[in-house]
Structure 1
Amino acid sequence: MIVAVSRDEQHRCSKPTLPVIRLLTGLGVEGDAHCGETVKHRSRVAADPSQPNLRQVHLLHTELFDELAGAGITLSPGEMGENVTTRGIALLSLPVGARLRLGQDALVEITGLRNPCAQIESLRPGLLKAVLGRDAQGNLVRKAGIMGIVLAGGEVRPGDPISVTLPAPPHRPLERV
């Protein structure tokens, strides 16, 4: 289920929550700083502004907020810059190419993991370390949500359902985008 939706015209760490956002096919969240066909993240624009925008929509699970609260870090929807805050979907375990139907019309295809940057330390000291971990093999685990592209636009609101369609196997695990 969708818990909250957020957008911001400015490049800031946090985004204000809203009653509704509109996803635009092939672009992202209408009115958001990251909306567009080509990459909008400042460091990626500096490297190559012609790259396709694989980070049109940022989704984050509220279960991460629960985990962080256990470590003494309290966050609310939108504070980590996500556009869509979810509950009940294991976002990090989805494969590349999974499709999420958000509400009635919007369809987002998952492209990869959000790579949290050091700027989130300005939100809460220790947050960057808390959203990065290691698995049993010592590999880096990014917990700061997933990114996707908009295949079909539409309005998305808190309380809207989410349905998941997995791609045909073999499934590719998410990597940072």
Structure 2
Amino acid sequence: MSARVTAVSSNGEHSFTKPNRDSVRLLAGLGVEGDAHAGVTVKHRARVEQDPTRPNRRQVHLLHEELFDEVGEAGFKVAPGELGENITTRGIDLLALPVGTLLRIGDRAVVEVTGLRNPCLQIDEFQDGLLKQVVGRDAAGNVVRRTGIMSIVRESGVVRPGDPIAVELPPGPHRPLDRV
């Protein structure tokens, strides 16, 4: 199966979930047009409190739809946009991509992968117990975050459900994703 977009979501207000849209427009250097997290500087409320002048490395949140299938087996029902992502994907292992990977989405949009989304307690407020399903530890005791990746917009473009996603890896050596 080829990598593709299954849903797009945005919200002009800071809220945990984002409503699905027919399309979203990615704006180079800013993020999703009209989304509360768009901007040159950080927009995540907790990070704004720490330092509002930091560059926004979290302009676009991508999440693999396969996660919904996995948590569904444990009794949780999650749909696109409900975990706050802007772009829901299928057929691409987002969590295995290295920092700096370019994702060409649809006809023109390009995002650069910056790191992992660091899930917070709001996930348990959304559905009690879900946080334990999406964050854990590997055999070596390292934290494993499975709630998608963050990116910045390199090239503007409209993104719609059904759009293909092409992966362009950066030159090696590759740096694994860490929370951003």
- List gaps (5 residues or longer) in structure 1: none
Deviation at 1:128, TM superposition (A): 1.1
Q: Aligned match of 2:162 in 151, 159, 177?
A: 159
> Which residues of 2 match residues 81-92 of structure 1 at below 5 A?
81-92=84-95
Structure 1's consecutive aligned runs of 4 or more residues displaced over 3 angstroms after TM superposition are: none
Q: What's the secondary structure of 1:14's corresponding residue? A: coil
Tell me what 1:24 maps to: 27
1:11: how far off? 0.7
How far off its partner does 1:57 sit?
0.1
Matches within 5 A, 1:6-45: 6-45=9-48
Of 58, 66, 82, the residue aligned with 2:69 is 66
Kindly report which structure 2 residues correspond to 1:55-134, keeping only aligned pairs within 5 A, or say none: 55-134=58-137
The reply on whether 1:168 has 2:149 as its aligned counterpart is no
In 1, distance between residues paired with 2:130 and 2:150? 19
Hey, what's the Cα distance between the residues in 2 that align with 1:85 and 1:75? 12
Matching residue of 2:50? 47
Q: Distance in 2 between matches of 1:40 and 1:167?
A: 27
Q: What do residues 27-86 of structure 1 show as CA deviations (whole Å, max 9, x unaligned)?
A: 000000000000000000000000000000000001100110011111000000000000
Give the fraction of aligned pairs with identical amino acids, expressed as a percent: 63
Q: What are structure 2's unaligned runs of at least 5 residues?
A: none
Give distance in 1, aligned partners of 2:136 and 2:168.
Answer: 27
CA distance in 1, matches of 2:120, 2:177: 18
Figure out how many residues of one structure are paired with residues of the other and give that number: 177
C-alpha displacement at 1:135, in angstroms? 1.3
| Counterpart residue type for residue 86 of structure 1 | T
Q: How far off its partner does 1:94 sit?
A: 0.2
**SS at 1:101's partner residue?**
strand
Q: Deviations over 1:7-40 (max 9, x none)?
A: 0001111000000000000000000000000000
Given residue 49 of structure 2, which amino acid in structure 1 is its aligned partner?
A
